[in-house]
Amino acid sequence: MGFVTEANLKLTKAPQNVRVAVTQFPTVHDAVRFAVKVIQGGHQLEAMELLDNITMRALNAGGYYEQELPEKPTVFLKLAGHTTDDVQNQAKVVSGIAKSAQSLSFTLAKDTEEGETLWAARKTALWSALALKYNADDRFLAADACVPVSKLGVIIERTHAMLEESGLFGCCVGHVGDGKMNARQICYEHG
């Protein structure tokens, strides 16, 4: 147990010229390699969220998001800059990094509305996974792990193996934008 005795508050301006991008990869390790390259390159993104292939399947089946997305490990990004040209330049750089990490596709939203639609998929990941319960009495279990991004592929692989061995349904989703992964492993225990 711990006690907070002091807290620091940092105020920042709301980001300007935000654009959303989505990129898919053949494997979680490729998606992790992309995230590591972005971080090591010093690229400050507003958000970088990794969803595994099982989460993407949940998005497609959950009914909360209207578009069908590839059921591959996917990274959702928010890019921002002082000008729209800054954002376009950042998108070119990040797209190049994605390509070097074996990206299957890179989609940059053409406007704010399309970006909000794409980001809605990320925002509904939990609800989509919850919608895949097999039985009404299945229990939802969640665990958070915080690991260096470079170890993320191993953690997700091991989580998938453990879920398969146990017979539980589960998926992994989390924030990878600040050099560590705050992962949420979501699974069901059948009642």
Architecture of domain 19-189: 3-Layer(aba) Sandwich (3.40)
Q: Are 186 and 173 in contact (CB under 8 A)?
A: yes
The candidate with the shortest Cα–Cα distance to 87, out of 175, 35, 21, is: 21
Average of pLDDT values for 76-98?
A: 95
pLDDT at residue 111 is higher than 80: yes
Query: Among residues of the chain, what percentage have pLDDT more than 70?
Result: 90
**Binning pLDDT at 50, 70 and 90, where does residue 15 land?**
confident
Per-residue pLDDT, 183: 54
Domain positions in the chain are: 19-189
pLDDT score of 131 more than 70? yes
Q: How confident is the model at residue 12 (pLDDT cuts 50, 70, 90)?
A: low
- The residues, ordered by sequence, that sit 6+ positions from 75 with a Cβ below 8 Å of its Cβ are 22, 23, 25, 31, 34, 35, 48, 49, 50, 51, 98, 176
| Cβ-contact 60, 68 below 8 angstroms | yes
pTM: 0.86
Q: How far apart are CA 177 and CA 49, in angstroms?
A: 7
